[in-house]
Structure 1
Amino acid sequence: MKRIDLKAVERRDRRRQGRNFLVALAFMSPALLLVGVLLLVPVVYNIYLGFTRWRKFSGIDEFAGVENYARMLSNPFFGEALFNTAIWVVASIVFPILIGLAMALLFRGVRFENTFKNIIFIPRILAPTAVGVIWYYVYAPDGLLNRGLSVFSGDPVDIGWLYDSATVTPAIIATFVWQTVGLVMVLVLLGLSAIPKDPLEAAKIDGASKVQVFQHIVLPLLLPTLVMVTILSVLAGFTVFDLLWVMGISYPGQRSLSLTVYMYFEAFQKGAWAYGSAVAVVIGLVVLCVTWIQAVLQQRVDKMTR
């Protein structure tokens, strides 16, 4: 009987793995080149600009160290933008998920379910800029909202929803929820459809109420979907720009000022490109940290539901 040379087999396996890696790398090279040119290079260059005094068309490209970051921490508008962004993140998590979950449970299995889902999902396919323009006129002093309130109250209503610091943020958040709740509802419906029927039928046979079934069976099995929706909502809350820029007024100093709007205002309106790059780096680091925390939580949720 011929003996098998294990070392020769291992060498052949390593050579085969090396060839497979080179073949895979050849197929991936166009995508890697595209990602490197369009994503990695701008990110690295943006990080570099955050440590300079670079101003476009002025020829200034001096190294400034952490000067931009020190200026950022001492600027009251940055603190205001950070606080408003935190409000946006919380609102983008709580309201779309709660409303989307309620709608998914309400419309699941009812007559004309697909019609209701399509109607609620329509705002999601609209461009955020178009949505902002539409709702800008809805919230106008002579817009549809004030006219509707005038009909119900019997007296003329002239509320400047986007001009009052007490109402501008809730008004824009309501618009954001109107546009995003359809996507959350669809994702939750997909999660509900993936839940096995056996535990639900067993719970009904044992006499469990609908509330108990939802609390002890549906909700735990739906946690992975809700975690994924939460991650998407957090990223949307940190990076929202279109609605705030179109519907907000008088930057900076407005209650709707966020980190993304603050970055755009400093870089493109005031021409402080290096400072805007530093703000962009901070936004990226915050998003990465939050995403990492959510990834850890998602792994724990996956272990709990297995």
Structure 2
Amino acid sequence: MTATYAFALSAAHEAASAQHYPQGTLFVVATPIGNLADISLRALHVLALADAIACEDTRHTQALLRAYGIDKAPAQLLAVHQHNEAQAAHLVVERLQQGQRIAYASDAGTPAISDPGARLVAAVRAAGLAVVPLPGASSITAALSVAGIVTPGAQDSGFVFAGFLPAKAAEREAAVQGLAGEPRAVVLLEAPHRIEALARALAVLGKRPVTVARELTKQFEEIATVDAADLPQWFMNGPQRTRGEFVLVLHSAVVAAESGSEQRILRLLLSELPLKTAVRLAADITGASRNVLYDAALALKKDESGG
């Protein structure tokens, strides 16, 4: 352990030891997504205090603990990953019922978001036992914080977490078509071996901005915002850009300064189709908000009826 982390562990005990950490509790611990300094003091204290640590990969977590100077015997590390989570949860529940304090840590970031952990938490809650979150690093919120998704003219606020899109080309393209009509920002995750295929699929979204966050918090971190249509070329411009782990933020759909084309499309569709169908298709075609188009369709119907 370096002197820096020795001081951090000492500071963690000093800052967090006075708090109450009840027995028979599962502590869900966020761990760094790359930079080891992104650990919270409370997380360090609880990882050291825990009777056992459930983890996605015991070898990875053991290395992480040793980096901070925390010693745990191999028997204190319980493998709880996507392939055994339901079964392993029973063992965790039994230990909690015996009064043990157990921490759960996935390989990186906040558990149970894209990583395993949700089934474990559900099983613990179903058993009537306490679950306490220890917030910290998350690639999703890190990417959102630098994407600048609140842009002038945005139709709707907020974001949607879509995670990994399907691996098969046809299913991925269908998913992207579905995202075309989503006015809110969309957060996607992708692995290096599929990132170029995802870029090609997203290119059909044209001028809609996409923020690419690669290797967040690590030495070769890279963050860039480009139009969806330019994504494939952006990756081709640097061989290193396909390496690492990726978070992509598809920005909010933006209302065009002139809505004449939307009105024209909506009017044409209304002349042939029921109102709700016309609104849905107009939203898919233009990327405009369904709520906005629905209000516009009602106004058009009212004008035509002379009301």
Same topology, TM > 0.5: no
User: Which has a greater percent of helix?
Assistant: 1
Normalised by the length of structure 1, the TM-score is 0.22
In terms of Rg, which structure is larger?
1
Structure with more contact order per residue of length (Cα contacts < 8 Å, sep ≥ 6): 1
User: Which has a greater percent of strand?
Assistant: 2
